[in-house]
């Protein structure tokens, strides 16, 4: 897992973890765990975070969701 992409995008957008969590309808602990790479998100959470950050799931979580 590489949560650093989430943190980079979040900081670029000048959002706090709490703000990202609120906009993605998840909790701050989830955002923190994703950024530290200790958790793999559910796909629906990954999609919401990607949408808020103007990114794609593949870009934010390149090694977590694979086809096939």
4-51 per-position pLDDT tens digit: 799 999 999 999 999 999 999 999 999 999 999 898 889 999 999 999
Highest CATH level, class, for 4-60: mainly alpha
CA–CA–CA angle 53, 54, 56 (5° rounding) = 95
Q: Please state, rounded to an integer, the average pLDDT across all residues of the chain.
A: 90
Give the rounded percent of residues in the chain with a pLDDT score beyond 70.
90
pTM of the full predicted structure?
Answer: 0.87
Which H helix or E strand runs over 51? helix 43-53
Q: Determine contact, residues 60/37, Cβ cutoff 8 Å.
A: no
- The confidence band for 68, taking pLDDT boundaries of 50, 70 and 90, is very low
| Terminal C-alpha separation, the chain | 18
Please state, in angstroms and rounded to a whole number, the distance separating the CA atoms of residues 23 and 2.
Answer: 21
Domain limits of the chain? 4-60
Nearest CA among 62, 31, 29, 26 for reference residue 44: 26
């Amino acid at each position: 897992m590489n949560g650093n992409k989430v943190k980079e995008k979040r900081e670029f957008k000048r959002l706090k973890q709490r703000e990202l969590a609120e906009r993605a309808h998840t909790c701050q602990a989830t955002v923190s765990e994703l950024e530290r790479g200790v958790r793999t998100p559910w796909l629906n959470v990954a999609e919401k975070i990607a949408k808020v950050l103007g990114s794609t799931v593949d870009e934010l979580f390149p090694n977590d969701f694979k086809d096939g």
